[in-house]
Amino acid sequence: MGFTLDTSHIRSLFPSLRQEVDGIPAVFLDNPGGTQVSQGVIDAMSNYLARHNANRGGAFWTARCSDEIIDEAHQAMADLLNAASPDEIVFGPNMTTLTFSVSRAIGRQIGPGDEIIVTRLDHDANITPWVMMAEDRGATVRWVDFDPETYMLDLPGLRNLINERTRVVAVGYASNAVGTINDVKSVCGWARDAGALSFVDAVQYVPHGPVDVQDLGCDMLACSAYKFFGPHMGILYGRYDLLDRLQAYKVRPAKNVPPGKFETGTQSHEGIAGTLASVEYLAEVGRRYGGQYRAGFDQFDGRKLDLRSGMTAIEQHELQLSAAVLDELETIPDIEIHGITDRDCLDQRVPTISFTWPGRHPRAIAEALGNQGIFVWDGNYYALAVTERLGLEDKGGMVRIGAVHYNTLDEIGRLGVALRNLI
Ligand SMILES: Cc1ncc(COP(=O)(O)O)c(C=O)c1O
């Protein structure tokens, strides 16, 4: 199978990818920590600041421009996630802050005897906000484990934990540590059947595949623009009737209607303009490279169709990157890969691949790669429950190779050479 994307064209749109470190082209494999942005995103942000900078709701031109851009950004995010309405999209500083905020609002309806479900496969941003809310409200937290051999979430265990006392099920779409994609659609269905709310952390899934909140049947879903080629912003989807019903922590003059009641204070308007441009970028990927995938989304049209076909082209490209990273890692004696390696199951993971190398500290490996112009993360990447469960927290965690659609097989080859140089 050939590549579905022309990476040289894609890469030409990202100025940062042309950078060199000490004369060596930089290889960005730190993407789960944050992706690079296209020139279109940079232009949208600087254009906003240069021409349209104002607060909202004023009776003058720049205020009207700001309103228009921000409204359009809500619509763009609704298209990306297939929300039924732009009023179901809440912007905020990042996923963590939005999750703390909305978990407080949900907590107002929770008390002793109620139960909250969290998983050990999640980033701490989808664990601690719920644990602290449960502490505040006297509710009980139930933990779902993952299998440290297969790196799969214990879905039967999760299902068994859901009962008539369950109020919230918080689950990750894709793990930022080991890359596993979870069957969140089933989880949301089980939560709904029990009358519980489902909250999906999609931060690590959105850059890798098409998302459809209506098909998932989730009540809320959070993501971060800086993980999908945009600026440092967080986005929360919430079903309109739920956002409407919840009592937000907000100041009095702000209107008490979604989404504004959760968008407290003045937002990063330039960040919202950049987020809009990042969605436009992904739609353009669909227009250029998504042709063969459009038939699979015939219920959609316009930008929603472009986004779904584009994200499917990205997904297909990334299957080959996952295989290439695994192939390279498997040439290194003793390396232990922490995640799915079965080539027939690569559709159950994103190309975020963590490993340990006995006798070598993860930081030392990341430093050695960094010295060769290859950027990777080491540590727990805030997936503390994962490194604790794997017994790696006091050993420096893992090294994480995180590819996205602008990475090439040549870059993965360079990673392999650099690792073999360390032997
Ligand atoms: C899976 C996952 N959830 C949540 C977060 C936190 O996102 P933010 O930095 O937008 O708060 C991250 C960040 O790495 C993540 O990978």
Q: What is the pLDDT of residues 205-231, one digit of tens each?
A: 999 999 999 999 999 999 999 999 999
What ranges make up the beta strands (E) of 282-326? none
Which of the 8 DSSP states describes residue 31? G
Q: Tell me, using a 6 A CB cutoff, whether residue 270 lines ligand 1.
A: no
Cα–Cα distances (Å) from 378 to 83, 342, 373, in that order, read: 35, 23, 15
Helix count (H) and strand count (E) of the chain?
14, 15
Q: Which of 131, 74, 38, 33 is nearest to 354 (CA)?
A: 33
Q: What is the pLDDT of residue 11?
A: 98
Cβ-based burial of 319 (10 A; exposed 0-12, middle 13-18, buried ≥19): middle
Q: What is the pLDDT of residues 371-399, one digit of tens each?
A: 999 999 999 999 999 999 999 999 999 99
Distance 129 CA to ligand 1 centre (A): 13
Residue 374 has a CB neighbour count (10 Å cut-off) of 24
Strand partners, 222: 201, 236
Mean residue pLDDT across the chain: 97
**Which strand (E) or helix (H) includes residue 89?**
strand 89-92
* Domains of the chain and any CATH numbers: 7-38+303-421 (3.90.1150.10), 42-279 (3.40.640.10)
**Which strand (E) or helix (H) includes residue 400?**
strand 398-402
Q: What is the pLDDT of residues 115-133, one digit of tens each?
A: 999 999 999 999 999 999 9
Distance 224 CA to ligand 1 centre (A): 7
Q: Please give the single-letter amino acid code of residue 43.
A: D
Q: Tell me, using a 6 A CB cutoff, whether residue 41 lines ligand 1.
A: no
Q: Tell me, using a 6 A CB cutoff, whether residue 180 lines ligand 1.
A: no
Sequence-distant (6+) residues with CB within 8 A of 252 are: none
Strands 197-201, 166-172: pairing is parallel
Distance 363 CA to ligand 1 centre (A): 21
pLDDT exceeds 90 at position 88: yes
Alpha-carbon span 301 to 308, nearest angstrom? 10
Alpha-carbon span 363 to 343, nearest angstrom? 28
Q: From the alpha carbon of 94, which atom of ligand 1 is closest? A: 10
Q: What is the pLDDT of residue 2?
A: 44
